[in-house]
Structure 1
Amino acid sequence: MKQLVGVLLAVLISACASNQASVYQQLGGEAKVAEIVDNFILEIGMDPIMLCYFEDSNIDRFRDKMQEHLCMLTGGGCTYTGDTMEQVHGGMKITEAHFNHGVDLFIRAMDKAGVPHRLQNQVLAQMAPTREDMIYR
């Protein structure tokens, strides 16, 4: 009997561990991702350093693709249908300093959306691998 209880307990613990919410779910799903992206766009629009990178951008497309990309990266089950990060950022010659400044603006966007710092770190960790495809292209 004790073995059966032990096995059942192990199965329950395993099931709980495998059902952990994705970062996307922890954020609050589609509505929160949209809020973060809209905040980010506002931050860019008020920032003379970053605005020059977006002068010729279709902001509606940027919003749509950024939401898809953030959803995909954070485990929301979305499919990103945009261009690769290398294609999008090619020719921009984004420096390390400008990239870091963009991250600061994204953090402000998450702050304004009320995302806790612990969760912000998880989001940034999911986004970090795209860095190499963006800078010095």
Structure 2
Amino acid sequence: MRYPAIAVALVTMLALAGCQSMAEKTDRPESLYLQLGERSGIASIVEDLLYLIVEDERINEQFSGVDVRQFHSNLTDQLCELSGGPCTYSGREMRESHADMNVTDTQFNALAENLILAMEQNNIPTGAQNRLIKRLVPLYPQIRNL
């Protein structure tokens, strides 16, 4: 009777080790980039995000006067780079570009919410969405000028 319990424990441990190994393989930097659809997929996400921003009264004024083409290009490059893609973000530093915007928590959260909606519109898996958001979180203090 003890052997079946040990066998179950061993099989469970092997299964968990296999899951962990699979998670490590899928967590390579390039896999997030691929899950986002490479540069063209990221560009589509950013385009959908821009439409959501325009419609969102919580944040659309913050973006009035922004060069939409330049913003699209810079954000696409930034998300591409952050996701492990071959792009290089060459825009201004976050602290510099947000210095006079006085971004509130509500506005920051609204933009994050819209980014998630844009990813959902592009059928990005939830795990990939979470991984991208996790990589964006360290930028928060620079955007909020804390």
Normalising by structure 2, we get a TM-score of 0.78
1:18 and 1:46, CA in 2 relative to 1: closer, same or farther beyond 3 A? closer
Answer whether contact 1:71 1:77 (CA < 8 A) is retained: yes
- Residue 71 (1) aligns with residue 71 (2): no
Equivalent position of 1:3 in the other structure? none
Equivalent position of 2:128 in the other structure? 119
1:79 and 1:47, CA in 2 relative to 1: closer, same or farther beyond 3 A? same
How much has 1:86 moved relative to structure 2? 0.7
- Spell out, residue by residue over 1:27-74, the C-alpha distance to the aligned partner (whole angstroms, 9 max, x if none): 220111011000100000111111101111000000000001000111
Which residue among 43, 48, 65 is the counterpart of 1:56?
Answer: 65
Q: Which runs of 5+ in 1 are unaligned?
A: 1-12
- The range that moved more, 56-65 or 127-136, is 127-136
Secondary structure in 2 aligned to 1:108? helix
Equivalent position of 2:117 in the other structure? 108
How much has 1:127 moved relative to structure 2? 1.0
- Residue 38 (1) aligns with residue 51 (2): no
How much has 1:26 moved relative to structure 2? 2.2
Equivalent position of 1:80 in the other structure? 89
C-alpha separation in 2, matches of 1:117 and 1:18: 14
- Residue 22 (1) aligns with residue 28 (2): no
- Spell out, residue by residue over 1:72-99, the C-alpha distance to the aligned partner (whole angstroms, 9 max, x if none): 1111021111000111111110011111
How much has 1:18 moved relative to structure 2? 9.8
Identity %: 28
How much has 1:17 moved relative to structure 2? 4.6
Equivalent position of 1:9 in the other structure? none
Task: Please report the RMSD computed on the Cα atoms of aligned residues, expressed in angstroms.
Answer: 2.0
Answer whether contact 1:29 1:76 (CA < 8 A) is retained: yes
